[in-house]
Chains A and B, each alone.
Chain A
Amino acid sequence: MKTVSLGAPRSSTVKFHRPTRDNLVPIRVDIEVDGQRYRDAFTWNPRDPDSEVITFAKRTAKELKLPATFVPQILQSIQGQLAEFRSYEGQEMQVKEKIMPLKIDLRVNNTTIRDQFLWDIGNLESDPEEFARTLCDDLNITDPEVGPAIAVCIREQLYEIASQTVSAMREAKMSKKRRAPEFASNSKAMNNAVDMFKYFGSKGSVIRKRKEWYLYEPVVDVVPKEEAAVVDAKEQLK
């Protein structure tokens, strides 16, 4: 067990696990066939058998009335992302209490939402789904599709962070440097981590300063349809 300069919280190595209660995989699908575009994002439970993937792909294509050519592409996309996840699975990552800012900047149908908040990636009990649900309820977001989008977004960011941790661990092992502070600072992502000590030291207080409030407010906009269409078109051109 290594102690970090942060003091009491100790780091431990565990098997790769997203810092969430469920080890779910965020999947993003974006396929274009013959001018028809299918974009989707959802969470998948990697414990489901692989036969589920093909069933899911077929069902989705049927319900959305997509031509059959979509099905193998969807399948490949999902399976690829699952495989990537699984490749991380056996490896170790270091888990300690680390608070990272996460950002949400999404547009779903007519609703845009921007938010920024702090998330403890060392907490294995965290639940992005719960967070998304609460957020939608509190902000009275009526479009039910916003919730899953938020959850997927959070998971993707956590996934990024976690995979960086894993690769950092690997590098550290290979280079045989075992000094915790060293690789803590090596990783770019970790640099963003907030030094809680600074906050909660004797001089700081838990309550955010008033002038920083605006940074951490969630902003939800409901845009009228025409604007949404315009923005959509712009994105497609990109």
Chain B
Amino acid sequence: MATPPAPVPPVTANSAPTPAQSPFKAPPFSQPPSTAGTLKTEIPPASSSAAIAAGVAAVGAAAEDSSHVITVPSYSGWFSYDSISDTERRLLPEFFEGEVAAVSGSRGPEAYKYYRNTLVKRFRARPARRLTLTEARRGLIGDVGSVRRVFDFLEEWGLINHGAPPLGAKQGKDKREEATTSQSSLPAGPTTPKKLCVGCRSVCGSAYFTCEKADISICCRCFVRGNYRPGLTPADFKKVEISEDAKSDWTDKETLHLLEAVLHYGEDWKKVSEHVGSRSEKDCIARLIRLSFGEQFMGSKEQKMEFEIDDDVNNESRAEIPKRPRLTPLADASNPIMQRVAFLSAIVGSGVAAAAAQAAISAQSQVDMNDNQTDSPISSTKEEVFSAESSYTNGFSANDLLKEASTNAQVQLQKEQKDIEQSLSAIVDVQMKEIQDKISRFEQKELLMEKEREQLHHLRELLFVDQLAVVQHQRRPHAVAAENKEEEKPKPIITMG
């Protein structure tokens, strides 16, 4: 260790500290949270690692400060000031293993403990406020890299900044754990009038999904995309509608008015809404449909199941989703009946839906007969719905369509193969032809060459004959007079020949 200076004399009088906040040395908390009584122990913390979202984020109980209650998520129940748990050892090995840790002061277990305890204390002194890294590392003696790692670890596990308001763009970080802890820490109030989706931070439309397990609510799009924590299945989600009913409940009086109005005015929704009072036409219609008349509608609804196609069959992206009961949030949201139909058919599956439809048809016909006296409006709306229904795809269930599609694909495949083979053979033919052409041309040329050769030969012979003739000719007439020339002429001739 370094040679320390001479023993430090007591502090001079001027340095009386006036702490603005409680000094972080004095622990204001009597108990570490692990010993607090009412912790939920659903998920053993040892089973999670940093990469996996840290289990169920139900908020456990707290250690009590004098004035505030500190909440710590149940998956961080192992935390205690005095010791270092296995989780920490596992997830931050650089502090505990290796020569580096043993050697260096900034990297050893004591240093880790010091950072960790200081950070936690600082946060707990002001739990409503988010502790930023910069603030933290300014107050910590040590290299910022290590401080940052401990800080991130603590934040991830909810020991720091748990429930503190997020810092703007920090939510965009792609650590899933952060997203999940923030989701869990958000006050998921079902009482809030405007539903904010936790996954994409947008206002939910007419319907959203809540999950009791995780106490979060997400909008339709997020549900479809699977934008929720990996620990949850779609089955955990319940669809909740933001319907007019929820917004303002229909009192019995209003319902009574509505029924009266409908009886009197039939389909004239304007008058009906007037009669009811403070309800728009749409409200009236919707309410009416939801009423006990809905039982009569059940018949028609079940019939619609036969025709029913979840939108997801039309929607290509969902073709791969395995067949299991699933909600269909993309069902036509504007038409409440359609929603119900989609919901029900998805729940029961195609076989049951078909059977129900049969029963419904027979019931429907009976109902139709009994129903003549009432509500032309009701039957007219039924018809509207009918026609809307039939405008959907023809009555194949999802299964059949899939099969058809696959056989089609097969056929196409085979066709392709045949085509390929054909074109291959065509190519081969063409090449053969080329070769044959070439061969014939060569043959012709050979012929020509032969001919020329023969001609040459012939010419040569002729020439030879001519030479002979000349020689003989010269010899005979000039035999007498050409004794002198014999010597001369044969020579040139001979040399020529």
Number of interface residues of A (CB under 8 A): 56
Q: Chain B 305-331 against A: per-residue CB contact (8 Å), 1 yes, 0 no?
A: 000000000000000000000000000
The reply to whether B17 and A142 form a contact with Cβ atoms under 8 Å apart is yes
CB distance from B10 to the nearest CB of A (A): 9
Residues from chain B with a CB closer than 8 A to the CB of A59 are 133-134
Complex Cα–Cα for A22 and B95 (A): 13
> Residue A70 at the B interface, CB < 8 A?
no
CB distance from B153 to the nearest CB of A (A): 15
> Residue A232 at the B interface, CB < 8 A?
no
Kindly specify which of B82-90, B137-145, B486-494 makes contact with the partner chain: B137-145
CB distance from A10 to the nearest CB of B (A): 18
The reply to whether B2 and A222 form a contact with Cβ atoms under 8 Å apart is no
| Contact residues of A between 52 and 73, Cβ < 8 Å to B | 52, 56, 59-60, 62-64
Cβ 8 A contact of B145, one of A45, A141, A217, A218: A45
The reply to whether A127 and B143 form a contact with Cβ atoms under 8 Å apart is no
Residues from chain A with a CB closer than 8 A to the CB of B24 are 144
| CB nearest to A130 among chain B residues | B105
| Contact residues of B between 422 and 476, Cβ < 8 Å to A | none
> Residue B193 at the A interface, CB < 8 A?
no
The reply to whether B11 and A42 form a contact with Cβ atoms under 8 Å apart is no
| CB nearest to B107 among chain A residues | A22
Complex Cα–Cα for A143 and B15 (A): 12
| Contact residues of B between 1 and 34, Cβ < 8 Å to A | 1-6, 8-9, 11-12, 14-19, 23-25
Given A52-B145, A220-B14, A221-B14, A126 contacting B1 (CB threshold 8 A): yes
Kindly specify which of A1-9, A114-122, A166-174, A183-191 makes contact with the partner chain: A114-122
Cβ 8 A contact of A222, one of B5, B17, B25: B17
> Residue A133 at the B interface, CB < 8 A?
yes
Q: Chain A 118-146 against B: per-residue CB contact (8 Å), 1 yes, 0 no?
A: 11100101111111110111111111110
The reply to whether B5 and A118 form a contact with Cβ atoms under 8 Å apart is yes
Q: Chain B 107-151 against A: per-residue CB contact (8 Å), 1 yes, 0 no?
A: 100010010001000100000000011110111111111101000
CB distance from B135 to the nearest CB of A (A): 7
Cβ 8 A contact of B169, one of A62, A115, A119: A62
Cβ 8 A contact of B12, one of A22, A62, A220: A220
Residues from chain A with a CB closer than 8 A to the CB of B407 are none
The reply to whether B11 and A220 form a contact with Cβ atoms under 8 Å apart is yes
The reply to whether A140 and B17 form a contact with Cβ atoms under 8 Å apart is yes
The reply to whether A127 and B15 form a contact with Cβ atoms under 8 Å apart is no
Complex Cα–Cα for A169 and B122 (A): 46
| Contact residues of A between 14 and 43, Cβ < 8 Å to B | 21-22, 24, 40, 42-43
Cβ 8 A contact of B133, one of A63, A135, A150: A63
| CB nearest to B106 among chain A residues | A22
A43, A48, A139 interface centre (most CB from chain B within 10 Å): A43
The reply to whether A44 and B17 form a contact with Cβ atoms under 8 Å apart is no
Residues from chain B with a CB closer than 8 A to the CB of A135 are 8
Residues from chain A with a CB closer than 8 A to the CB of B118 are 144
Q: Chain A 198-219 against B: per-residue CB contact (8 Å), 1 yes, 0 no?
A: 0000000000100001001111
> Residue B104 at the A interface, CB < 8 A?
yes
Cβ 8 A contact of A142, one of B19, B103, B114: B19
Complex Cα–Cα for A135 and B134 (A): 22
| CB nearest to B138 among chain A residues | A145
The reply to whether B134 and A140 form a contact with Cβ atoms under 8 Å apart is no
The reply to whether A220 and B138 form a contact with Cβ atoms under 8 Å apart is no
CB distance from A101 to the nearest CB of B (A): 10
> Residue A106 at the B interface, CB < 8 A?
no
Residues from chain B with a CB closer than 8 A to the CB of A42 are 137-138, 143-144
Complex Cα–Cα for A79 and B12 (A): 41
Complex Cα–Cα for A219 and B13 (A): 10
The reply to whether A43 and B15 form a contact with Cβ atoms under 8 Å apart is no
> Residue A99 at the B interface, CB < 8 A?
yes
B19, B143, B144 interface centre (most CB from chain A within 10 Å): B143
Complex Cα–Cα for A52 and B137 (A): 15
CB distance from B167 to the nearest CB of A (A): 7
| CB nearest to A152 among chain B residues | B141
Complex Cα–Cα for A131 and B135 (A): 21
CB distance from B12 to the nearest CB of A (A): 6
Complex Cα–Cα for A132 and B1 (A): 13
Given A42-B144, A45-B146, A148-B138, A120 contacting B11 (CB threshold 8 A): no
The reply to whether B134 and A44 form a contact with Cβ atoms under 8 Å apart is no
The reply to whether A216 and B5 form a contact with Cβ atoms under 8 Å apart is yes
Residues from chain B with a CB closer than 8 A to the CB of A93 are none
Complex Cα–Cα for A143 and B18 (A): 9
The reply to whether B5 and A63 form a contact with Cβ atoms under 8 Å apart is no
The reply to whether A24 and B143 form a contact with Cβ atoms under 8 Å apart is yes
> Residue A151 at the B interface, CB < 8 A?
yes
Given A60-B134, A130-B1, A222-B18, A22 contacting B104 (CB threshold 8 A): yes
Apart from A48-B145, A128-B2, A222-B17, list 17 A-B contacts with CB within 8 A.
A21-B104, A44-B145, A45-B106, A62-B168, A125-B1, A129-B105, A129-B141, A131-B2, A132-B141, A136-B141, A139-B11, A141-B15, A143-B17, A148-B137, A148-B140, A150-B141, A208-B6
- Can you list 19 A-B pairs with a CB-CB distance of less than 8 A? A22-B105, A42-B137, A42-B143, A42-B144, A45-B144, A63-B132, A117-B5, A123-B1, A126-B3, A127-B105, A130-B2, A131-B2, A135-B8, A140-B17, A144-B118, A145-B138, A220-B11, A220-B14, A221-B14
